[in-house]
Amino acid sequence: MNGADYVLKCLRAEGIDTVFGYPGGAVIPLFDALYRDGGFDVYRPSHEQGGTHAADGFARASGGVGVMIATSGPGATNTVTGIATAYSDSVPLVVISGQVGSSLLGKNSFQEVDIVSITMPITKYNVLVTDTKDIGPAIRRAFFIARSGRPGPVLVDITKDTFEAEMEDLPYAVQPIEIDTRYLDCMDEIKEACDLIRNAEKPVIYAGGGVLKSGSFEELRKFAKLLNIPVTNSIMGLGAFDRTDPLSYGIVGMHGQRETNLMVYRSDVVIGIGVRFSDRAIGNRTGFSEKAKIIHIDIDETEFNKNIDVDVRILGDFKKILQIMTEELTDVHFNRDIKEIEEKQSEKDFLPRRYIETFQEKLPEDTNVATDVGQHQMWTMMYWKAKKPYSVITSGGQGTMGFGVGAAMGAKIARPDEEMLLITGDGSFRMNHHEVLAAASHKVPMTIAVFNNHTLGMVRQWQGLFQEKRYSHTDIYDALDLEALSKAYGVNYAGKVHSPEELEEVLEEIDLDEINIIECMIDHDDGAYPMVAAGKSINNIIDRDQMY
């Protein structure tokens, strides 16, 4: 075999049968091996960034690892935004990039880029491979690091001559994930946390993406239900706890509901599980809670005291820690009056909310949702009732416009028997709509809702609030015709709707086995509220009527 054949042997041993990739000079041998092998499902995007987002969406929806292949030079650099997105959101991603031949390295050769140096700050591990004997160890280490601890992206850069070189069929063994026993060193801290909870009056759980990454959602449910403690989420934690449960209060922070933010701010104990306490969630270091004791349970010790000062730090396996705490607190049950958040009638009549609720009512119950980034993302996070894990696909830490279509395609490939809804904005959709062509080419069905307000809505909202309504370069009034674009891509333009009633009619007519694009028209002054200004405490809430 040659090096490229051996790469495929390694991928198969790691349980990979689906890859995303875009061919180019340096990876011609690898694509030739894929062609000859015939055992992998290969999805070619329209652009390497979209392909990396697709591999990311596949990983998020499957709970596994996404794989992206790109060629050298611009092919590799086009993956950088996708890698950074995965790094911020702790998504296990393996990017295999081709590199110029070994004899051409360091000579500014055609399509030569030092992608290892470029991606060093945004990968858990990366390596340049110039010898066939190093292929196996590099890929084994890459998958191990991508999956283990706090997951994340890795990159393996392989020279073209290494792909082409003949080699022996070497044995390959997967490096098993080590059992995390660090919680055993935190038994005093676990007891201290339980004592704080036992003596609390108004505790709150703040659950993040780590609960999903670790598969600890059932342990979270048992813990919250036993103690009758309300559960809030970071954006990345949505799906970790059923949003239809009366204990679920949704997201907290910059776009958290007023009642949710105030509940957290006035609590006396906050139990943070698998969260970064990011600036968008806490406002500022002292602004997340008025006087609460903070318990932080995490798998990454570098997160402790990074963004917020905590009182108890517990490091290690969430499953084990929650099991121990649940057993320790079986006699504790809070009798607080927990109920669904009651919102103003004006909020219930808010058109973007009614669109989202209509989609949820009319599409099948197993529908998963993906978003791009902007106001539509915040509305989705606020109003979509995620009931199951891995069902919300969105870019959190990077806030990557252009994430949506590729990620939705990857997620649908991972969960082909469940419906996929992409909610995007007219601004975000312009950045990635060419991936609709990739989805159409590979026959990956989805429903795409373009929330069209003819503006870059979130930026315009900030300009209205903080730049005295100087709307600089945010309005979008041009000749883009989504119906004509849909026809060009060979997908169904289901229509332009102005009300939930019109949307219902459209949803009754579409074929969910196709790609359907629906334009949902909204007003450019419809903002994502409530809102907390950057750096302010989460109780400093701006409501919709305060913008004007």
Distance of alpha carbon 491 from alpha carbon 500, whole angstroms:
23
Assess whether 48 carries a catalytic annotation.
yes
* DSSP label of 172: -
Tokens 């709150």 — which residue?
A: 204
Told to judge if 458 belongs to the known catalytic residues of this protein, a careful annotator would answer yes
Contact 429/450 with Cβ under 8 angstroms? yes
Q: Are strands 41-43 and 18-21 parallel, antiparallel or unpaired?
A: parallel
Question: What is the distance between the alpha carbons of residues 391 and 398, in angstroms, rounded to a whole number?
Answer: 19
3-state secondary structure of 271: strand
> String of b and e for 301-321 (b: at least 16 CB within 10 Å)?
eebbeebbebebbbbbbbbbb
> Looking at 6-105, which runs of residues are DSSP E strands?
18-21, 41-43, 66-70, 93-99
Element (H, E) at 362: helix 351-362
SS3 of residue 299 by DSSP: coil
Check if 175 is active-site: no
Q: Is 359 a catalytic residue?
A: no
**Does residue 303 have an active-site annotation?**
no
Q: How many whole angstroms separate alpha carbon 221 and alpha carbon 518? A: 36
- Distance from the Cα of residue 253 to its chain's centroid: 17
Query: How many CA atoms are closer than 13 Å to the CA of 199, on its beta-carbon side?
Result: 7
Question: Cα–Cα distance between 161 and 221 in angstroms, integer?
Answer: 52
Structure tokens at 18: 């689906």
Helices then strands (H, E): number in the chain? 23, 20
Pick from 155, 157, 102: which is nearest to 129 by CA? Answer: 157
Q: Point out the catalytic residue in the list 31, 40, 48, 293.
A: 48
Exactly one of 1, 111, 398, 514 is catalytic; name it: 111
Q: Are 83 and 52 in contact (CB under 8 A)?
A: yes
Answer yes or no: are the C-beta atoms of 395 and 89 closer than 8 Å.
yes
Residue of 9, 124, 160, 412 marked active site? 160
Write down the catalytic residue from 378, 431, 458, 531: 458
Please provide the distance, in angstroms rounded to a whole number, between the alpha carbons at the two ends of the chain.
69
Q: How far apart are CA 116 and CA 95, in angstroms?
A: 11
Report the run of H or E that residue 155 belongs to, with start and end. Answer: strand 153-159
Q: What residue has token string 């028997």?
A: 417
Structure tokens at 9: 């042997």
- Residues near 416 by beta carbon (within 8 Å), at least 6 away in sequence: none
**Cis preceding-peptide flag for 530 (omega within 30 of 0):** yes
The C-alpha atoms of residue 332 and residue 496 are separated, in whole angstroms, by 53
- 333 alpha carbon, distance to own chain's centre: 33
480 DSSP 8-state letter: -
Count CB-CB contacts under 10 A for residue 278. 20
Starting at the earlier edge strand, list the strands of the sheet with 248-251: 248-251, 231-233, 203-207, 269-273, 293-298, 312-315
Active site residues: 48, 110-111, 160, 458
